[in-house]
Homo-oligomer: A and B are copies of this chain.
Amino acid sequence: MLETLQKIVDNAPGAQASILMGFDGIAVMQALAADVDLDIESIAMEFSFRFIELRKAAESLEMGEISDIAIKAAQATILVRVLNEEFFVLLMLGDPRHLGKGRYVLRMQAPDLVSQL
């Protein structure tokens, strides 16, 4: 699992960290890019409760299950892939220019993470 998370960080241009977390805010495992010092667990935890709210909204609006969330802010971009009812993987990019590539890498590695849960 750590290997997969590290692969995500290594293959996504501008990536700073990836983390696998439960929607209850409990971290499973994380990987950081070289020379990056970041409390990715606190960041993902802070958002996890908001993600639950987004899922509830989508369901109540009959949009179906949320599979991906992207949030671009001034200093960082967060890409989220929902793995199943309980877990998600989050990728943090310092440079948002390769957002599409980041999303692609997440999607490609997601089945690998799911199989290890």
Contacts and interface: CB of A to CB of B under 8 A. Distances in A.
Interface of A: 42-43, 46-47, 50, 53-54, 57-58, 60-76, 78, 100
A32 to B, nearest CB: 16
B63 A75 contact: yes
Nearest to A72: B68
A97 to B, nearest CB: 12
How many chain copies? 2
A60 B42 CA distance: 11
A50 to B, nearest CB: 5
A52 to B, nearest CB: 10
A78 B71 CA distance: 12
14 contacts: A43-B61, A43-B63, A46-B60, A47-B54, A53-B53, A62-B75, A63-B74, A63-B75, A64-B73, A64-B75, A64-B76, A69-B69, A69-B70, A70-B70
B50 A57 contact: yes
A72 B61 contact: no
Nearest to A59: B73
B50 A63 contact: no
B62 A54 contact: no
